């Protein structure tokens, strides 16, 4: 665990110390997600959050099945039926 002190700046800005950026594998300009849970804020790289969401969905949707393709096909069928 990396634990460092940082200051809250004007406008609610917090500059993440280099140790934190390195621990998360982040570079300036990377997108992150903020998760507020009780009295804590977690900073999660957006790619990690996306991967967790995909893993969650994959528990209910078998590999090889594309929900987006199914939805598009349904919409096309509805449009043809008019």
43-80 pLDDT, tens digit per residue, is 999 999 999 998 998 899 988 899 999 999 999 999 99
CA 82 centroid distance within chain: 37
* pTM of the complete model: 0.62
**36 and 13, same structural domain?**
no
Domain total of the chain = 2
Residue range(s) defining the domain that contains residue 8: 1-29
Q: Let me know: does 30 contact 44? Beta carbons within 8 Å.
A: no
Mean pLDDT of 6-17: 92
Mean pLDDT of 5-10: 92
pLDDT category, 2, cuts 50, 70, 90?
A: confident
**16 and 42, same structural domain?**
no
**21 and 45, same structural domain?**
no
**35 and 12, same structural domain?**
no
**15 and 35, same structural domain?**
no
Handedness of CA 41, 26, 49, 32 (dihedral sign): positive
**37 and 71, same structural domain?**
yes
Q: Let me know: does 28 contact 16? Beta carbons within 8 Å.
A: no
């Amino acid at each position: 665990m990396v634990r460092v002190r940082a200051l809250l700046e004007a406008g609610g800005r917090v500059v993440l110390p280099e140790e934190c950026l390195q621990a998360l594998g982040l570079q300036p300009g990377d997108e992150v997600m903020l998760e507020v849970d009780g009295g804590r804020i977690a900073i999660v790289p957006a790619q990690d959050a996306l991967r967790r969401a995909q893993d969650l969905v994959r528990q209910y949707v078998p590999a090889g099945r594309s929900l987006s393709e199914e939805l598009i096909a349904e919409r096309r069928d509805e449009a043809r039926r008019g």
